[in-house]
Structure 1
Amino acid sequence: MKSADNYRQLRKKGITIRKTADVIIASFCIENNLPLLFSDKDFIPFVKHLKLISASPTT
């Protein structure tokens, strides 16, 4: 599953995502090329390292 791959990629970089649901949501958005509006800091590594498209004004 792509969620597990994304989690492992971030762990290799020393990043731990606290909530499994965040990994699943981010992975879905990455796979479907959808922007994600968020305020949870756990999504920032997905933007920086895994090409998650942010719809949030602060990232």
Structure 2
Amino acid sequence: MINLPMSAPTFIKSAEIYRSLRKKGITIRKTIDCLIAVLCLEHEVRLFRNDHDFLFIAEHFPLRIV
């Protein structure tokens, strides 16, 4: 497990991802997934996923998933 630092801008970016996808008709079921995605984007970390929400995020943002 990796401990990645978070700040206020991290939470703002998370909300922006959620709103951006929602405007495109995509609903992320768990908002924590947006926060996890932002942390991976900020720290250039690949995400080992077991959740379809990350596929939706990766289609619209440069999230690297495995």
TM-score, with length taken from structure 2:
0.76
RMSD of aligned Cα (Å): 0.9
Equivalent position of 1:24 in the other structure: 35
Equivalent position of 2:17 in the other structure: 6
Q: Which has the higher strand share?
A: 1
Structure 1, residues 12-59: CA drift from partner, whole Å, max 9, x if none?
1110001011111011111222110001101001111011011x2xxx
Percent of counterpart pairs with the same letter? Answer: 49
Q: State the aligned residue count.
A: 55
Q: C-alpha separation between the residues in 2 aligned to 1:17 and 1:4?
A: 11
Please identify the structure whose Cα radius of gyration is greater: 2
Runs ≥4 in structure 1, deviation > 6 angstroms?
A: none
Unaligned runs of 5+ in 1: none
